[in-house]
Amino acid sequence: MPELVVLVEQLLAPVPGGTGRYTRELASALAASAPAEWVVSSAVARHRDPSPAVIPGVDGPKVLPLSPRALTYAWERGWPLWPGGDAVHAPTPLAPARAKRGRGLVVTVHDTVPWTHPETLTRRGAHWHRKVIARATYQADAIVVPTSAVAAELTQHAPGTSRVHVIGNGVSTGLREVPDMDARFRIRSRLQLPERYVLALGTIEPRKGLDVLLDAMSRPTAPELPLVIAGQPGWGGIDLPEMARKRGLSPDRLRILGRLSETEVTVVLHGAAVLAVPSLAEGFGLPMVEAMAAGVPIVHSDAPALVEVAGGTGVMARRQDPVALAHALRSVFNDPARTEARVAAAKSRAANYTWERTAQLVWNVHLELHQNRLIGLL
């Protein structure tokens, strides 16, 4: 039986982030929708405990013989270490240097931040991502990107020879559904959630624009609501309480939740009065689409990918403009009828973003490559 191997190393990263969620959801959906003759497995570098990379329905993970650092080093230098299988999908740019003869390699590139906003990454991180993404666009059989905005930017910054396919992310079924009353009460009580609040959701790092959001929320033109920030701290050492203090936002209007389980995220998201996405750059904006699916109003920056995915169903504010962001947040509450119409349109639009659809489109890429290889071998 032909085998598709999904590299799930991101699930073992200290901060898996949005790419970790993508990796888990995509691998699970690929396994659930696999053609009858195919098997889906996973692979990781050598870890003391690879169990966080176990995905129900996906075989493995098979453990490769090198540590994460050694594996990265080997693939960067083109060593022929193939993770097995007839096809490999790399949900991040960490991927084999090239496909083994008669095998296929597809790589997902989530954004072009290393080129467009390198200051929001470490110098080393920006350099590494530029290098491995550029290599993938030349050596992988195909590239998957989440939006046309990323496809256009990738063509500009890393114009390789690989075919680029625009395939959006999905929304987990559980995040679309309102949890039962008991679960909502328990979780809201444990997290000490305010009755109504502005929500920011995602990894806490420089490109998310949280400094602008804190500035906006401290202004008299902003909604007089608490700000809830949910997400695991990433790089950059962002001190949200200190950042809020410097901007004059009262401590009792800021609630920082940290990393949450999926059930907790669902409760927090469904309880929000509005989701704020003031990012400097995004490749897709998964929390925004999840809010759209949950019927929560959205306010987002003018980052091209966010504009593309929202499709006019949210309120847009200029990046790095706290005055514009404060007015945009306020507008959600000033015109309830217009907000209701936007929410309905957003929910309808978000219905198109499912992991089942994402997996089917990714399968189409792999199956076409596999068929072409079989024809070439005859």
Question: Are the C-beta atoms of residues 317 and 278 closer than 8 Å to each other?
Answer: yes
Residue 123 and residue 92: Cα distance in Å, rounded?
A: 19
Predicted confidence pLDDT, tens digits, the chain (378 residues): 899 999 999 999 988 889 999 999 999 999 999 999 999 999 999 999 999 999 999 999 999 999 999 999 999 888 888 999 999 999 999 999 876 677 899 999 999 999 999 998 889 989 999 999 999 999 999 999 999 999 999 999 999 988 999 999 999 888 888 888 888 899 999 999 999 999 999 999 999 999 999 999 999 999 999 999 999 887 777 899 999 999 989 899 999 998 898 899 999 999 999 999 999 999 999 999 999 999 999 999 999 999 999 999 999 999 999 999 999 999 999 999 999 999 999 999 999 999 999 999 999 999 999 998 877 654
Report all structural domains of the chain as residue ranges with CATH numbers, in order of start: 3-170+354-377 (3.40.50.2000), 173-350 (3.40.50.2000)
pTM: predicted TM-score of the whole model, two decimal places = 0.93
pLDDT of residue 115: 96
Task: Answer whether 208's CB lies under 8 Å from 302's CB.
Answer: no
What pLDDT is attached to residue 377?
56
Output the 3-class SS for the chain.
Answer: CCEEEEECHHHHCCCCHHHHHHHHHHHHHHHHCCCCCCEEEEEECCCCCCHHHCCCCCEEEEECCCCHHHHHHHHHCCCCCCCCCCEEEECCCCCCCCCCCCCEEEEECCCCHHHHCHHHCCHHHHHHHHHHHHHHHHHCCEEEECCHHHHHHHHHHCCCCCEEEECCCCCCHHHHCCCCHHHHHHHHHHHCCCCCCEEEECCECHHHCHHHHHHHHCCCCCCCCCEEEECCECCCCCCHHHHHHHCCCCHHHEEEEECCCHHHHHHHHHCCCEEEECCCCCCCCHHHHHHHHHCCCEEEECCHHHHHHHCCCCEEECCCCHHHHHHHHHHHHHCHHHHHHHHHHHHHHHCCCCHHHHHHHHHHHHHHHHHHHHHHHC
